[in-house]
Amino acid sequence: MSIENSSSSPAEFFHRSVLLKQCVEGLHIVDGGLYVDATLGGGGHSLAILNAAKDVHIIGIDRDPHAIQAAKTRLQDFSHQCTYLSGTFLDCLSQITSPVHGILFDLGVSSPQLDHAHRGFSFASDGPLDMRMNPLSGSSAADLINTYSEKDLANIIYRYGEEPRSRRIAKAICAQRPFYRTLRFAECVRIASGYHKSKNHPATRTFQAIRIAVNNELAQLQDALPKALSLLKPHGRLAVISFHSLEDRIVKQFFQKVTGKITPKDAYGNPIHPPQAVPVCYKGMTGKEFDSSNPRARSARLRIISKSPTSSHA
């Protein structure tokens, strides 16, 4: 993890930000506020936050160096108001020492990452089986697919992809590996899955599972949420956009815990620990309802909490 200073030309990374208006309104941007965009991407949410009030400062976090460079280009008019950190959620959040007014997580893979075949995230075009958020660090999808046991692959595909046919898919993968290209891998999964009338590509859940495992996404999220809450000022807001049930379950359960909904209670029904936050929107806002014109938003859900004025820890 490091502060990015490279001036190299970024790859095209601009995309339409999901639930943009709802995020900005939900974060309640104030003049002179300090905000963290924990999933910077191409800088779309950050740009809207910077434009929402005077003298706003953004700390932008991303594991993908291409995303940071693209965001720097997009936010160049606000360069004196932006700080960029490259690394995982927890590593970067741990570097922040000042209380902040708001933090945003826009989870999952971005449209530019999917659209560029060389990143290996997509089953729709041929490219190397990579799938790393940071293509310069860690093991690739090919490393995982070609070395894990059949049992471990089946467990990953079932747990992170919620794929009911994980065992037959894992068996086929092990019988036909090694794999180094996305289309050949996707075709193996398609045939092994046996899905013939699925609305989505039969490899969708398997690709999701491998990507989550390669980037350790769920564990990163679980560790980052308490840290994010601890960084907030009283009344500061934490907003999270999730795109599938595994992410949303983690966010929902954490929010329920810190708002007192599922906090252990004493014999009189009073919370043993006082709530650390209050919900801003109880059930969240869905992309299908609030951002229906954006295709990427159809599975998105935005949840927001506000830190309690008396909370001193997360």
Contacts of 49 (CB under 8 A, 6+ apart): 24, 27, 29, 35, 37, 56, 58, 102, 104
**Scanning the structure block, which residue is given the tokens 């794999």?**
179
- Beta carbons of 28 and 114 less than 8 angstroms apart: no
Q: Which residue has the higher pLDDT, 13 or 118?
A: 118
Lowest mean pLDDT among 4-18, 81-95, 236-250: 4-18
- Beta carbons of 236 and 36 less than 8 angstroms apart: no
CA–CA distance from 313 to each of 175, 264, 278 (Å)? 50, 17, 14
pLDDT at 199: 86
Q: Which residue has the higher pLDDT, 198 or 81?
A: 81
| Cα–Cα distance measured from residue 302 to residue 51, given in angstroms and rounded to the nearest whole number | 21
Average pLDDT, rounded, for the chain: 90
Q: Which residue has the higher pLDDT, 115 or 260?
A: 260
pTM: 0.90
What pLDDT, in 10s, does the model give residues 84-112? 999 999 999 999 999 999 999 999 887 77
Q: Extract long-range pairs of 138-147: CB within 8 Å, 24+ residues apart.
A: 138/214, 138/215, 139/214, 140/214, 141/210, 141/211, 141/214, 142/178, 142/179, 142/180, 144/210, 144/213, 144/214, 145/173, 145/177, 145/178, 145/179, 145/185, 145/210, 146/177, 146/178, 146/179
| Cα–Cα distance measured from residue 155 to residue 168, given in angstroms and rounded to the nearest whole number | 12
pLDDT at 6: 35
What confidence category does residue 39 fall into, taking pLDDT thresholds of 50, 70 and 90?
very high
pLDDT at 7: 37
Contacts of 194 (CB under 8 A, 6+ apart): 165, 168
Q: Up-side HSE of residue 222: CA atoms within 13 Å toward CB?
A: 8
Lowest mean pLDDT among 162-166, 259-263, 310-314: 310-314
Lowest mean pLDDT among 38-42, 107-111, 229-233: 107-111
Q: What residue ranges define each of the domains in the chain, with the CATH number in brackets?
A: 2-112+217-307 (3.40.50.150), 126-214 (1.10.150.170)
What pLDDT, in 10s, does the model give residues 122-148? 999 999 999 999 998 899 999 999 999
pLDDT at 152: 98
Q: Are strands 277-286 and 82-86 parallel, antiparallel or unpaired?
A: unpaired
- For 198, other C-beta atoms within 10 Å of its C-beta total 12
pLDDT at 202: 96
- Beta carbons of 153 and 145 less than 8 angstroms apart: yes
What pLDDT, in 10s, does the model give residues 149-200? 999 999 999 999 999 999 999 999 999 999 999 999 999 999 999 998 888 8
Determine if the peptide bond prior to 271 is cis (ω within 30°): no
| Cα–Cα distance measured from residue 160 to residue 13, given in angstroms and rounded to the nearest whole number | 26
Q: Is the confidence at residue 1, as pLDDT, over 70? A: no
